[in-house]
Amino acid sequence: MSRKTIFQKSFPKPDHIYNSYLISFFISLILKSGKKKLAENIVYEMCSIIRKKTNKEPLRLFKRAVRQASPTIALKTQKFKKKVKRTPYELSSFQATRIALRWIIKNAKNRIGSKIASRLADEVIDTVKNKSETLREKRRKHKMAKSFRSAAHFNKKVF
């Protein structure tokens, strides 16, 4: 009998303002050096900027942006005989949202602006409008995965 313990993924508790797991997960991704209060202030300021700019519910827009930005396929490198092949594989919903949130943060940091909260808000709004760099990155990854479809039979968990 195996002695290996099986760990279950622990989800963060929902945040206290929007009562959403997605917002609390986004806060934990923005978190740097254990400064959670600063990360919370950035995310809540982002939500207030979204509300001012669009006059809509910021949580709905944020969920929609994450859903649009989340990829369905990713590539992983595998060694097969003496060659290294990149094989596409399907992502779970948790992995897809994590990648989408990381892309939103990365592309917001590359934007021009003074505050990170306003840059995050602009990135979320542009993602909903289909104009953001995050969606271009998603399309680029999907296009790459399509081009490596010939190596898909090496991976057992594809399609």
Report the CATH number that the domain containing residue 67 is assigned in CATH: 1.10.455.10
pLDDT of residue 151: 56
Please check whether residue 13 lies inside any domain of the structure: no
Do residues 104 and 118 make contact, with C-beta atoms less than 8 angstroms apart?
A: no
Average pLDDT of 104-119?
Answer: 93
Give 33-52 pLDDT, tens digit per residue.
Answer: 889 999 999 999 999 999 99
Question: Mean of the per-residue pLDDT values for the chain?
Answer: 88
Confidence class for position 159, pLDDT limits 50, 70, 90: very low
Please check whether residue 140 lies inside any domain of the structure: yes
Do residues 96 and 68 make contact, with C-beta atoms less than 8 angstroms apart?
A: no
Please check whether residue 10 lies inside any domain of the structure: no
Please check whether residue 142 lies inside any domain of the structure: yes
Phi-psi region of 9 (alpha: psi -120 to 50; beta: other; left: phi over 0): beta
Please check whether residue 159 lies inside any domain of the structure: no
Query: How many separate domains does the chain show?
Result: 1
The model carries a pTM of 0.85
How far is Cα of residue 118 from the mean position of the Cα atoms in its chain?
A: 18
Say whether pLDDT at 55 is over 90: yes
Structural domain of 142:
21-154
Say whether pLDDT at 96 is over 90: yes
pLDDT of residue 153: 58
